[in-house]
Amino acid sequence: MAELQVKITKYKCDRCGHEWIPREKATPTICPKCKSPYWNKPRRKIKKKNVIPARNKKNL
């Protein structure tokens, strides 16, 4: 008897880490757990703006 192999596509959210098997063949639009539409895009690092430190009340 011949063996039958089936490939199953598994997705993983880059935001929350949730893994799932889709019901449909189309690429998912959102993560089913965190509902993020950016589930397949890694987070970007936020650049901090040059912030002027606040004065201490003691030095006034």
Q: What is the pLDDT of residues 9-25, one digit of tens each?
A: 999 999 999 999 999 98
Domain boundaries, the chain: 9-43
Q: Which position has the higher pLDDT, 50 or 6? A: 6
Bin 58: left if φ > 0, else alpha if -120 < ψ < 50, else beta: alpha
Asked if the model's pLDDT at residue 1 lies above 80, the reply is no
pTM above 0.85, yes or no: no
Model pLDDT for residues 41-58, shown as the tens digit of each residue: 988 888 777 777 667 666
Residue 15 makes CB contacts below 8 A (sequence gap 6+) with 31, 34, 36, 38, 39, 43
- Which residue has tokens 């757990």? 33
